[in-house]
Amino acid sequence: LVWLLVLSLAWLGPALGDEDKDEEVVEEEEKEKKEDEVLSDEIKEEDNVLVLHEHNFARALSEHQLLLVEFYAPWCGHCQQLAPAYAQAATELRNESSPARLGKVDATAQTALATEFGITSYPTLKLFRDGNRTHPLAYTGRMDSRGIVRWMQRRAGPSATLLQDTDTAAAFVNSQDVVAVGFFKDLKGEAAQAFFEVAAEMVDMTFGVAEAAELFQAYGLSADTVCLFKKFDEKQTNFPVDPARGLDTAELTRLLRVHSLQLVMEFTNEVQPVPSPVTVPQGPWLPCPHPSPPPQTSNQIFGAKIPHHMLLFLNKSSSEQLSLQEGFRAAAGGFRGEVRWPHGRDMEGGCGTLQPQCLLFPAQVLFVVVDVTGHGADVLPFFGMTPADAPTLRLVKMENNRKYQMEQDDFSDLAIRTFIQAVLDGKVKPHLLSAEPPEDWDTWPVKVLVGKTFEQVAFDETKNVFVKFYAPWCPHCQAMAAAWEELAERYKDREDIVIAEMDSTANELENITINGYPTLHYFPAGPGRKMVEFKSTRDVETFSKFLDNGGTLPVEPP
| Nearest CA among 89, 92, 66, 64 for reference residue 155 | 66
On the 0-12 / 13-18 / 19+ scale of CB atoms within 10 A, 52 is buried
Q: Which amino acid is at 316?
A: K
Is 358 assigned a catalytic role?
Answer: no
CATH of domain 161-260: 3.40.30.10
Question: How many CB atoms are located within 10 Å of the residue 167 CB?
Answer: 9
Do 161-260 and 447-549 share a fold? yes
Judge whether 227 counts as a catalytic residue.
no
Sequence-distant (6+) residues with CB within 8 A of 348 are 333, 334
Architecture, CATH, for domain 297-339+359-425: 3-Layer(aba) Sandwich (3.40)
Does the domain at 447-549 match CATH 3.40.50.720? Answer given as: no
**What's the CATH architecture for 45-154?**
3-Layer(aba) Sandwich (3.40)
End-to-end CA distance of the chain: 33
Q: Enumerate the domain spans of the chain.
A: 45-154, 161-260, 297-339+359-425, 447-549
pLDDT 10s per residue in the chain (558 long)?
Answer: 333 333 233 333 333 334 444 555 555 555 555 444 556 889 999 999 999 999 999 999 999 999 999 999 999 989 999 999 999 999 999 999 899 999 999 999 999 999 999 999 999 999 999 999 999 999 988 899 998 998 998 888 888 999 999 999 999 999 999 999 999 999 999 999 999 999 988 888 999 999 999 999 999 999 999 999 999 888 999 999 999 999 999 999 988 988 888 899 988 754 333 333 333 334 555 544 433 334 467 777 877 778 899 999 999 889 899 899 999 999 998 887 543 333 333 333 333 333 434 444 445 899 999 999 887 888 888 888 899 999 999 999 988 888 999 877 789 999 999 999 999 889 999 989 899 999 999 999 999 999 999 999 999 999 999 999 999 988 999 999 999 999 999 999 999 999 999 999 899 998 898 888 999 999 999 988 899 999 999 999 999 999 999 999 887 776
Predicted structure pTM score: 0.64
Q: Of 79, 227, 351, 358, which one is the catalytic site residue?
A: 79
Active site residue 76: yes
- Concerning whether 474 is annotated as a catalytic residue, the answer is yes
* E-assigned strand segments in 113-204: 124-129, 137-138, 161-162, 178-183
Which is the catalytic residue, given 227, 351, 358, 477? 477
